[in-house]
């Protein structure tokens, strides 16, 4: 039943796009509809990478999942560069809602099914891709659109450093558990509040 519902809800993505152009929806309604459209897409990415990992191993499966999850972040960042929204660029590179929902939704699905190695590879591949591909790609490709400097604010650097430290402390022994997961989710919530309170400062 859940599988059929998720398959049917794949139609939300084209519906959200069509309503953007055909209806006069508020930005909040569009955002909510688009966010709901991510749920079946995250499930589909999780399914696809899980099947790929069965044949190629968790390393390649995690890399594929992270690639599909980071692609929206690159697209969002390039559109934001084109429109001169430099704050959005930095925000998407330090935690885009879209990309994270897609890739971590897939990681949650495979972890729930007991494939912890694949879920771990998804997280590691995602972080590595952001550091060595996504940020340099945005910086280089922005030259063709509108050159920007990626000077991160102190709050962004502090949150990224704190997130890395928290993850390292919790996972230093190479084990995962429900309470560690809950602490990481709470840390993500704290980061969101810190960014909200910091505003444009």
pLDDT given for residue 133 in this prediction: 83
pTM for the whole structure: 0.64
Model pLDDT for residues 150-184, shown as the tens digit of each residue: 777 888 888 888 888 888 888 788 777 888 878 88
pLDDT given for residue 103 in this prediction: 64
Q: How confident is residue 21, by pLDDT bands cut at 50, 70 and 90?
A: very high
3-state helix, strand, coil in the chain (%, to 5): 85, 0, 15
High-pLDDT (> 90) share of the chain, %:
3
Q: How confident is residue 18, by pLDDT bands cut at 50, 70 and 90?
A: very high
Model pLDDT for residues 132-148, shown as the tens digit of each residue: 888 888 888 888 877 77
Non-local (6+) Cβ contacts of 178 within 8 A are: none
Average pLDDT of the residues in 89-103 = 66
Q: How far apart are CA 137 and CA 133, in angstroms?
A: 6
């Amino acid at each position: 039943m859940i599988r059929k519902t998720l398959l049917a809800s794949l139609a939300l993505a084209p519906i959200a796009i069509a309503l953007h152009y055909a209806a006069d929806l508020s930005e909040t309604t569009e955002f909510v509809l688009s966010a709901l459209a991510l749920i079946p897409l995250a499930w589909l990415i999780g399914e696809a990478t899980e099947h790929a990992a069965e044949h190629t191993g968790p390393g390649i499966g995690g890399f594929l999942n992270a690639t599909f999850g980071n692609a929206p972040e690159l697209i969002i960042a390039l559109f934001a560069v084109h429109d001169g929204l430099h704050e959005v660029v930095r925000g998407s590179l330090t935690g885009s809602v879209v990309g994270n929902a897609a890739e971590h939704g897939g990681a949650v699905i495979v972890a729930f099914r007991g494939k912890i190695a694949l879920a771990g590879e998804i997280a590691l591949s995602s972080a590595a891709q952001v550091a060595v591909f996504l940020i340099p790609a945005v910086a280089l490709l922005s030259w063709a659109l509108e050159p920007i400097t990626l000077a991160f604010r102190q709050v962004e650097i502090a949150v990224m450093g704190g997130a890395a430290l928290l993850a390292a402390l919790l996972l230093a022994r190479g084990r995962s558990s429900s309470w560690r997961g809950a602490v990481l989710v709470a840390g993500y919530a704290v980061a969101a509040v810190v960014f909200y309170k910091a505003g444009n400062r």
